[in-house]
Every structure is written in structure tokens, then in C-alpha cells.
Amino acid sequence: MPQSHTVQANGASIPAIGYGTFTLSGEACAEAVGWALAAGYRHVDTARMYGNEAEVGQALKTSGLKRDEVFVTTKVWWTDLAPGDLERSAEGSLKRLGLDQVDLLLIHWPNPAVPVADSTAALCRMKRQGLARHIGVSNYPSALLDEAVRHATEPLVVNQVEYHPYLDQSTVKRACEKHGMAMTAYSPLGRAAAFEDPTLKALAQAHGRTVSQIILRWHVQQPGVIAIPRSTTRDHIIQNLDVFGFELSDEEMRRISGLARPNGRILEPDFAPRWDKTS
């Protein structure tokens, strides 16, 4: 069974490949998470907003794995960041997941109407009160991340952001490194946007791997980077974890990073913050 290496971040040890569950729901979600756990995934990413925490919890239970064998992340939606709301959201997530504690609780998106000092303090309380083993943020540009770290009384371990070969995230990555944090790549496959890319196809052929595996290898070969691909196809789920048995050369890594383009971003909701400049 393939084994993911772990990324160390401010005291957290996080499997470098996690299973993403956005858009999965109902029985199909429980079944797919079950496939992922059976394939060897030991890190699952959900969110209150995904509406599937109960099914993720059900799959964890059915798997028979011990609680401390799987790293479980959930998130608080950006409209729930005011003091009181954040606590209620976290408590609701634990109830639906059927867990006493998540391994990582993230603020899903920043909310400009809630002072960073307040949302960060509420998040830190969740760690102190034991609802979350670790805490972090998502979709924080570098300046906002600096601000959150300034206010945090507990270590932030992760900033989860969109990252794939078509989107440069070097500024956010440097900010994470500066703070000892990991950067988790969401939409790590660019939602399949780059699967026909000639450079990636050529690398896939050269290594006898799929384009998805080349992209995921590129992610996990970067120090401090974690990737959480989503798939509802059992073969893809299995294949996406099997990226620890080969290596890309420095030149190949650079070629993939060089595919970044100014319009490469996929997620741009109207509540998105002002992003860092990308190449």
C-alpha cells in the first residue's frame, strides 16, 4: 500500500497527500472516503460548507482505523467568524463528524467585516479548549497571514490555498515558510484543466506515470507542500496516492513551475480577498 510522507509544520505532522471531499455528498461520499482510506490515505479534508461531514465521519467509523491514524481537517465558513459563531460552527462540525476533536480546524475564507484579531482569537480558543489539535487558515494572502500570525496565541500550522501548475503561489509559499507553516494545495490538479498540457503529457510518458501523478509528485516534492486531490473514481483515488515511488529532476520541477500563467486561478468568488501578485 502506498504511504505518504508527512510534512512537519509548527508541531503538526501532516500526511503530504490528503483526500479532498468538496462536492461529494450522501452515500457516494461515504463510499469514496472509504475507498480512499482502504487505499492508504490517512488525511481527509472536509468543511462545514461541503455538507458532508456526517458522511466523512461515517466512513471513518466504518474503516475500523483508530482515531489517531487519520488526520481529519474541517473548516469554518467565512460567514461564521464572529465570536460565538466560530465556536458554534466548530462544535457542529465535531457533532456531525462524530469526533471529540479534529486534527486541524481552518478558517475557510477571511471575512473583511470581522477583525482578524477577533477571528484569530476565537480560532486559538478552539485549540486551547481541545476541539482542534491544530489550527490554521485558508485563502489568506501573505499580508493577511502575517496579520493572523501576529494575533495568534497558538501556532497556525497551515494556509490552504489554490495551487497547481497553472497558478504561481510563490509569495504565499514564502510567507508560510517564514512562519514555519505548511502550504496545502487545494484544487491541486487544477480541476483537470492541465491534463492535456503537452509538457505534462511528455513528462508522464517519460516516467511511465499519469499526468495526475506527475502534478501530485511536483506538489509533494516541494518542501512544506501538502496536496488534497479529489476524485470520485476508485482507480484515480488509488493512483493519486501512488506518487512516492519516483522522482522528478530539478529541471523537470522547474519546467512544471514554469507553466504558471497570469489567468491560471480557478476560484474567484465575490468574497475573495485581494490576492498576492502572481507571475
Ligand X SMILES: NC(=O)c1ccc[n+]([C@@H]2O[C@H](COP(=O)([O-])OP(=O)(O)OC[C@H]3O[C@@H](n4cnc5c(N)ncnc54)[C@H](OP(=O)(O)O)[C@@H]3O)[C@@H](O)[C@H]2O)c1
Contacts with ligand X by CB under 6 A lie at: 20-22, 45, 108, 138-139, 160, 186-192, 210, 212, 228-233, 236, 239-240, 267
Residue 100, C-beta contacts closer than 8 angstroms, at least 6 positions apart: 94, 130
Q: How many Å apart are CA 18 and CA 234, to the nearest integer?
A: 15
Q: How many Å apart are CA 16 and CA 154, to the nearest integer?
A: 22
Shortest Cβ 74–ligand X spacing (Å):
10
Is the CB of 128 or the CB of 244 nearer to ligand X?
244
Q: How many Å apart are CA 181 and CA 14, to the nearest integer?
A: 11
CA–CA distances in Å: residue 195 to residues 97, 164, 186, 202 = 34, 11, 16, 11
Active site residue 50: yes
Is the CB of 221 or the CB of 239 nearer to ligand X?
239
Q: Which of 50, 163, 166, 186 is catalytic?
A: 50
Shortest Cβ 18–ligand X spacing (Å):
8
Looking from the CA of 174 toward its CB, the CA atoms found within 13 Å total 7
Q: How many Å apart are CA 47 and CA 52, to the nearest integer?
A: 8
Shortest Cβ 19–ligand X spacing (Å):
8
Q: How many Å apart are CA 58 and CA 27, to the nearest integer?
A: 10
Shortest Cβ 37–ligand X spacing (Å):
15
Calculate the CA 28 to chain-centre distance.
21
Is the CB of 21 or the CB of 58 nearer to ligand X?
21
CA-based nearest residue to 37, from 51, 55, 52, 18 = 18
Shortest Cβ 216–ligand X spacing (Å):
8
Is the CB of 236 or the CB of 255 nearer to ligand X?
236
Residue number with the smallest Cβ distance to ligand X: 20
Is the CB of 129 or the CB of 235 nearer to ligand X?
235
- As annotated, the active-site residues are 50
